[in-house]
Amino acid sequence: MDFSTQQLRNVSIAGHGQTGKTALFEQLLFTGGAVAKPESVESGKTVSDCSSEEIQRKISIYASLAHLTWKNTLVNVWDTPGSSDFIGEVISAFRASEMTVMLVDARTGAQIETIKLWRDLDRRNKPRMLFVNKCEDDRADFAAASKDIHDKFNVEVCALTIPMGCGRSFAGVVDVLHGKAYAADGSAEKEMPIPAEYEEAYKTARGVLAGAAAEGDEDLLVKFIDEGELSAEEIIRGLKIAFANNRVVPAFAGSAARNSGTTALLDFIAEIAPDPSSVFETARNEAGETATVKISDGGSVSAQCVKTASDQFSGRLSYLKVVTGTLSADSELYNLTENRKEKIGKLYRCVGKKLEEIKSAAAGDVCIAVKLAVTKTSDTLSALPDAVPFVKLRHPEPVYSVAVSAKDKRDEDKMGEQLARAAEDDRTLAFRYNPETKQNVVSGMGELHIGIILDRVRAQSKITIDTAVPRIAYRETVQRKAQAEYTHKKQSGGHGQYARVVLSVEPLDRGANYQFTNAVFGGAISKGYIPGVEKGVKEAMEHGVLAGYPVVDTAVTVLDGKEHPVDSSEMAFKIAARNAFRDAMRNAGAILLEPVMNITVWVESKYLGDIMSDISGKRGRILGQTPLAGGIEEIRAQAPQSELLKYAIDLRSMTSGTGSFETAFSHYDPISGKLADEIIQAAKAFIQSAPEE
């Protein structure tokens, strides 16, 4: 059947690793009738963890989409990974969803990924629900986990369900909104009256819920203050407003392992959670001007590609979030990002990797198009060629890199094609050839992230790939003003070659790069030869005299010279200038420069001292720190890039996998002494061993 925008709900499931996201995803699909039987992660047969990598490692790596119908509502559900290495997949799901179910373990409350994801949802101002999972486990405490969320994020948490017992005594949940209970027996939930021993807890939770609902509407607030209670209809009305405006966090108790709590969660999503028409997307033109676009069935068709993936049977899959109009199969749209037409063939919904063909998708729906020619993640599709594209998905920059090479050099191109294609699907992955270091470098969010990508390429292409630590792109410069002269003279019969160049070099401010001045008087060098002189200088600056690194932040002044009426040429002056520059650079005290990075680290407060000490030990400089919500500290620092090549691994080790960081290039700093000597020796050894091009 077809669904209107008002009948749609898009929800993502997110949380720290091992909180049971995939298990809850399975139970929601089972409760909603989308699958006949919920599978366990251990079985390797779950809907979402269907790739060979996920089955082997028993973790979620990719965001997986499925749909179910509940109370005449189509619910699109995303299961997302819990590891920060795969944050790009979570971002795709967040962008495609109007709300998120945040899972926490009933034994631990908020963990580091909970805090980081919560912060991302705050940035998006996206409503969220709390599902306190594993209430059947020893040490489970629904109230303590809910309070932990309240305390760490300063939000109002109200229970929509409360557990009937915890740990071994867990028997199901009480639906506070509808005044009934559901027994947990490991299969489908069974509705039952609220047991007498939980009647008092139900009444208390009902009062708290009514108070939270009253915050959504001024009239309801007045009534609640006057009378102390609200009807079920009034609570629903108030919750709709409060939840859509992100003023309240509904909390659900449950157990994904025993399929408890899913019925009440789906009821809330269908009855109270906002449909996509309440959401605005942002479009931005080339001038940086923004405009909001309401998700609506009206108007011409527009959509954004929130995710791409490759399927061995169906080919390239493009997950499209329809923003305006109704997207129909066999239509033609413009890819505004690539400025090309794109033919939309068949459209599909999916349950994991199982595709179900549909004729059309309404605004707010997420559908799949196959084998699109040019569309990539973040691209905008529109029926109008002059429409303004939507703001791209905001993916973090990669933080960990390795140099890669094919063992058989004949496979280099094939390896590059595979990695470039992977980078198109995964926007937190980057692959490029660095001409300075003569290395292919793949960058991602961590060792696990890159390891999985390389393993997949090895398996699919049968290529043996070697990895190494990437070489650093150092620079060279001068420390003081100096000059030199060089005469290029060659005679071999006929016209010879003659040019004499006198020039000086001196340091410029960091980041100034290069300055060239012609200070020749009296026509010692004709104006027609000065371009040749500058070309020679620029060629010499490509490879410095210390270790062959590019020369920067240097001013060059041509002072004098001499030419021959017959034997001089632009080429002769280029050669003379090149050699004169090298001699002047040696006289000016050439020195190495190393790249320094800005680094921002987020860690739990208990690791603050260790992290700051480690950064200092990496020749870093602490710039400041800021305490954030949830007991997180933000540390801002600068450190040499060479010290940060394995920082993703180091930070994971120091923080038990809970820390995260971002880096960005800042500037170049001088480096000398033993460290510089080692770098120079290594560079010379590489130059000698490198094959000639």
Phi, psi angle pair for 601, to nearest 5°: -120, 135
Burial code of 598-620, b = ≥16 C-beta within 10 A, e = fewer?
A: ebebbbbeebbeebbebbeebbb
Res. 472: pLDDT tops 60 = yes
* Token pair in block for residue 47: 């809907």
Closest CA to 301 of 278, 317, 325: 325
493 CB burial (10 A radius; 0-12, 13-18, 19+): exposed
Query: What are the distances in angstroms from CA 478 to CA 11, 203, 456, 533?
Result: 58, 78, 46, 19
pLDDT in tens, 235-267: 999 999 999 999 999 999 999 999 999 999 999
Query: What are the distances in angstroms from CA 82 to CA 116, 204, 607, 625?
Result: 11, 34, 21, 26
pLDDT in tens, 577-591: 999 999 999 999 999
Start and end residues for every CATH 3.40.50.300 domain found in the chain:
5-278
Start and end residues for every CATH 3.30.230.10 domain found in the chain:
476-588
CA distance 381 to 306: 11
What's the DSSP call for residue 43?
Answer: G
249 CB burial (10 A radius; 0-12, 13-18, 19+): buried
Q: Which residues have a Cβ under 8 Å from the Cβ of 586 and sit 6 or more positions away?
A: 484, 545
Closest CA to 465 of 524, 405, 514: 405
Percent of the chain with pLDDT over 90: 81
Closest CA to 525 of 481, 467, 568: 568
Q: What pLDDT is attached to residue 215?
A: 85
* Token pair in block for residue 647: 């920082």
Q: Which residue has the tokens 């890199």?
A: 401
CATH topology of domain 592-675: Alpha-Beta Plaits (3.30.70)
Give the range among 18-32, 511-525, 562-576, 649-663 with minimum mean pLDDT.
Answer: 649-663
More confident residue, 113 or 592: 592
Res. 116: pLDDT tops 90 = no
Res. 516: pLDDT tops 70 = yes
Partners of 596 in beta bridges: 640, 667
Q: What pLDDT is attached to residue 436?
A: 84
Res. 692: pLDDT tops 60 = no
Partners of 360 in beta bridges: 328
More confident residue, 428 or 686: 428
Pick among 3.40.50.12780, 2.130.10.10, 3.30.70.270, 3.30.70.870: CATH of 400-468: 3.30.70.870
CA distance 483 to 556: 9
CA distance 503 to 274: 71
Residue 224: pLDDT band with limits 50, 70, 90: confident
Partners of 132 in beta bridges: 104, 253
Would strands 331-335 and 340-344 be described as parallel, antiparallel, or unpaired?
antiparallel
* Token pair in block for residue 651: 């930070």
Residue 493: pLDDT band with limits 50, 70, 90: low
Q: What pLDDT is attached to residue 154?
A: 92
Res. 495: pLDDT tops 80 = no
Q: Are 666 and 594 in contact (CB under 8 A)?
A: no
What is the average pLDDT across 105-125?
91
Q: Which residues have a Cβ under 8 Å from the Cβ of 662 and sit 6 or more positions away?
A: 396, 397, 399, 599, 600
Rg (CA), the chain: 31
CA distance 197 to 249: 26
What is the average pLDDT across 339-345?
95
DSSP per residue, 370-433: ES-SS--TT-EEESSTTPPPBPPP-PPPP-EEEEEEESSGGGHHHHHHHHHHHHHH-TT-EEEE
Q: Are 531 and 522 in contact (CB under 8 A)?
A: no
CATH architecture of the domain 476-588 equals 2-Layer Sandwich (3.30)
pLDDT in tens, 603-617: 889 999 999 999 999
CATH architecture of the domain 280-382 equals Beta Barrel (2.40)
Q: Which residues have a Cβ under 8 Å from the Cβ of 256 and sit 6 or more positions away?
A: 20, 23, 24, 26, 27, 133, 134, 262
More confident residue, 397 or 63: 63
Closest CA to 505 of 473, 483, 472: 483
Q: Give the DSSP H/E element, type plus range, for residue 320.
A: strand 315-324
Give the range among 175-184, 213-222, 464-473, 478-487 with minimum mean pLDDT.
Answer: 213-222
CATH topology of domain 5-278: Rossmann fold (3.40.50)
Residues 515-521: contacts with CB within 8 Å, 24+ apart?
A: 515/554, 515/555, 515/556, 516/555, 516/556, 516/557, 516/558, 517/555, 517/556, 517/557, 517/558, 518/557, 518/558, 519/557, 519/558, 519/559, 520/558, 520/559, 520/560, 520/561
CA distance 32 to 591: 68
Q: What pLDDT is attached to residue 494?
A: 65
Length, in residues, of the chain: 693
Would strands 8-15 and 74-79 be described as parallel, antiparallel, or unpaired?
parallel
Start and end residues for every CATH 3.30.70.870 domain found in the chain:
400-468
Residue 693: pLDDT band with limits 50, 70, 90: very low
Residue 690: pLDDT band with limits 50, 70, 90: low
Percent of the chain with pLDDT over 70: 99
* Token pair in block for residue 439: 């290395």
CA distance 266 to 272: 10
DSSP per residue, 72-117: S-EEEEEE---SGGGHHHHHHHHHH-SEEEEEEETTTBS-HHHHHH
Res. 474: pLDDT tops 50 = yes
Start and end residues for every CATH 3.30.70.240 domain found in the chain:
592-675
